Amino acid sequence: MKKTGMLNSAISKVLPDLGHTDRVVIADIGLPVQTGVTKIDLAITVGNPSFETVVKAVHDDMVVEKVFAAKEIIVENAKQRNFLKKEFPDMVSYVSHEEFKKMVGQAKAVIRTGEATAYSNCILQAGVFF
């Protein structure tokens, strides 16, 4: 039994398989997931687990070189925008929500949280540790 780091077995299987520039999505409960994209559903109840909790846990176990979020988060969800800016200084790029949803189709996995606030989604792009 693993005692530290990412304990969720599905996420623990995805992260080591990521190569440089591969992407993982952390999603709220409303983000559509295209057929063929692996969905890891962590949602238990509305708000649980939160977007922030899941992003932090994944970030602790993943080298991230870039983050994408919908530009609508800037106005519609300042709390999550500020969280992303703090968690990933100088790494966040913004695209339209429609473009974001297209990018989801290219992700290796979507991790669904219980978050129920608008635009609480991000795409984490894998970097390398060397």
Active site residues: 20
CB atoms within 10 A of CB 39: 15
**Is 82 part of any known ligand binding site?**
no
**Is 94 part of any known ligand binding site?**
no
- Is the dihedral angle over the CA atoms 82, 66, 63, 5 positive or is it negative? positive
**Is 77 part of any known ligand binding site?**
no
**Is 96 part of any known ligand binding site?**
no
- Which value, in Å, is the radius of gyration of the alpha carbons in the chain? 14
**Is 121 part of any known ligand binding site?**
yes
Listed residue (11, 36, 41, 12) closest to 113, CA to CA = 41
Give the separation between CA 127 and CA 120, rounded to whole angstroms: 22
**Residues of each annotated binding site for substrate:** 28, 97, 119-121
Annotated binding site: 28, 97, 119-121
